[in-house]
Structure formats: structure tokens, C-alpha cells
Amino acid sequence: MTTDDRTTTRTVHLGVYDTLADWETGHATAFLARAGYEIRTVGPTTAPVTSIGGLRITPDLALDDVRPQGSALLILPGADRWDTGDDLAPFAAKARAFLESGTPVAAICGATAGLAREGLLDDRDHTGAVSFYLAATGYGGGERYVEKDAVTDTAAGAALVTAGPTEPVAFAREILSLLGVFEGEVLDAWYRLFHDSDAEAYGVLAEAGVA
């Protein structure tokens, strides 16, 4: 698959693993799917996993079978297991492979700590839950931490989106912008509607055929 093929693929891969935080990726995956993207779940294996909210998910693919050349984006949600051992380290290593191949990655909550341990935040602007949470990983990117709801960094090649656990809508905003689902006034209105319950934003979305 060529670089041009990669930019036109309509498959987004979503990491799923035990204790994953259910609420963190729903806005993003819902509107990606509505825009025609296929969401493929990726587990450590294809054995079922259980989210922190008790949802049982059977992954579409095992992590070893995922290739960045066949993906538009890898999304990594938070999970307790990012901070309780090395179980999810292979997902951070896969994120490295994606970024090195030029395929974007989006990480939220505990997944940002996983990327920090992998060294992927040392040279990229990023955010997370709080700065000292990432500092506890011992990573070298503390000076690149940004106090924002969500951050997209493209300076090091492939785009990397990061956000903290309380910002699923901002996380989705960055992803939807990155993949060209919404832009400009429509993107702003989408964010204001879902983040701020701004009723006026609904009119903009309705006019654009989004709402």
C-alpha cells in the first residue's frame, strides 16, 4: 500500500482491552462512523475484553495483525491497566510503528502515560490528565506538556492527538478535524453543542446537514 492509499483508507483502529474507559472515545467513533469510516476494534488477542463499565467487547483483530499501512488512525483509550503493569505496553509499541510509518495516533487519559513510557512524547507537544501524572512515568518530554483540553502535534511527522480523561469531546474534535470530517464553523459548532450544550450551535449543524 502506498502513502496515497493510506490517506484514502476509511478504516480506523480502536484499541480495546480490559478496564478500558468506555466514555473516552464514543464521540469520536460515533461521528467517524457516521462519516463513513469503518471502526475496527483491536485487542491484545481476539478474546473478549471487559471495559471499566462492564461492557464485554470481542475484538475484530488481534494487535499483532494490525498494520499501519491499512489504517487511517489508531485510537488508544485510557484504562486502569496502563498504570498497573506492562500488559498494554505492546499497544504503545504499535503506536510507535504507526507514527514511524506516517499514520496518525490519538491517545487519551492513561494511554498518554503509555506513550510517555514508550518515549513518544519526548519530542512532541502533548497534554494529558495533569503534568505530574505524566512526569511520574520518568519521561523526557515534560517541557513539551501543554495546558490545553486536547493537543494535536504534527511537528515530528505523523500527527499525534492527546487529551486527558475529562475531555472526550475535545479529543473527538481534534480527531474529526484531523481526518477532515468537520472543519471551520461546523467543527466549532459541533464542539460547542456537545461540550457546552450551546443550542445556537445546533442551527449551524442543521444548516450544514450534520444535526
User: Any idea which residues carry the catalytic annotation?
Assistant: 109
Query: Taking Cα atoms as reference points, which of 42, 14, 17, 51 lies closest to residue 30?
Result: 14
Task: Return the C-alpha cell found at 93.
Answer: 509499541
Residue owning grid cell 471551520: 184
CA separation for the pair 42, 178 (Å, rounded): 21
Q: For residues 13 and 71, is the Cβ–Cβ distance under 8 A? A: yes
With the CA atoms of 55, 59, 126 and 68 taken in that order, what torsion angle do they form, in degrees rounded to the nearest 10? -170
Q: For residues 150 and 125, is the Cβ–Cβ distance under 8 A? A: no
